[in-house]
Structure 1
Amino acid sequence: MRKVVLSALLAYAATGCVAAEDAGLITANWSFKEVSTGAVLGCPAGFDTTAVYAYPVDGANQRRGQPIIDLYPCSAGTGTNEYPVDAYEVYLEITNSDNTQLYAQSTAAIVDITSRDATFTTTIIDDGGFFLFDWQLRGEVTGDPLSCAEALADSVDITSTLNGSTQAYTDVYPCSQGSAYTAALPAGDYTVSVAALDSSDRSISNTPALVNKRISAPNKITDLGLIMIPIVGE
């Protein structure tokens, strides 16, 4: 493992050794898969390095400062290192040996090591990618913002239908989550429908469909932005 940016740890090192209670471990695990077949793949030819990025984040999960970047052999499938105790936004990139050419970037997650060591695990999709979207509720009649409790919304459903087919992929998230990645989708153009659901999984919204939204490979993330969900009768 090679450490490229170590600014946070260097600050600790300037005053002496890092005490055990001032550092925690983050283990990153990665693998490769075809979503269309389920086949497990190896590292792509010419891309033999995994760069793990860890950005310190504040209480609102916003980045602050520079990332710590650790480089591992892609073929290892895993890597562990010490970090100053903090919360981090963690993702990884599959690159060539000198980290100058990118094959794919993973989705990101918040990893908190303030009280315990933690693990970040991701699968790189060779033939597809993901939608990322945020949502807010509003009254269909009034246009006023609504909380999930006010709208009696228990969850949010996103259904992605591959254009020219009946092949549809559905993901459901807690309404209060407010943001999510879909599960991996095969590359192609999609019609995307988003609905707020009540506790009986009935739609209580009337959201216009999003058309011709493209998923690209490998492992590309298509950001759908903020989707306003109008609640019927409000």
Structure 2
Amino acid sequence: MSAPHTGQFCALLLRRQLLLAMRRPIEMGNPLLFFTMVIVLFPLGLGPAPDKLAIFAPGVLWITALLSNLLTSDAVFRSDFDDGSLEQLVLAPQPLFLSALAYILAHWLTTGLLLALVSPIFALMLNLPVSALGTLIVSLLLGTAVLSLLGGIGAALTVGLKRGGVLISLLILPLYMPVLIFGTAAVQAAVTGAPSGPYLAILGAMLSLAIALAPLAIAAGLRISIDA
């Protein structure tokens, strides 16, 4: 039986990761639960004044999305490393960086995409203007994809460690900061009526650069972790 070509292999790998995620609904729901808890508790600490909530809403939504993404980054390759599947993936004839991209796409579909889709509900709870909801969704779609790619680099480098979650935070958080800054700025610009297009364009450029370079870094990190 001949080996599947690269495109078919990556599609099967993506399907496998999505099926595994759906079989573990608790793990897939953890980021949404964390997102919900923070957004619900935030008004209790700051106060229910609508004006105050609207001022801080862009930053709160983006910081919560970032931390929700970070919570799941450690598990991207963990289960496959534990059962030996990751070693077989490294030895497969298909390019490892494309296989890694399939893993990251599955992670984004089960975390970042879901957060972006439910974000308008929580944004309205924080009194974010309706006019800014479109910018919020687009910025989260672009930004969380970048976060997943950057988080995959940390996950690949620490997958062989028993407690790699804290180390991922130390390695990846500095790289997250530009995404957080421009994502928040885009939403804030939409709130004030200023053009948000330049900030979204920068996020798009970050995503393009991350798609081009992050899979290569993830593949190199996986090889290092497997050989260690």
TM-score band by shorter chain is under 0.3
TM-score by length of 1: 0.24
Higher strand proportion, which one?
Answer: 1
TM-score by length of 2: 0.24
Higher helix proportion, which one?
Answer: 2
- Rg bigger for which structure? 1
Whose RCO is larger (CA < 8 A, sep 6+)? Answer: 2
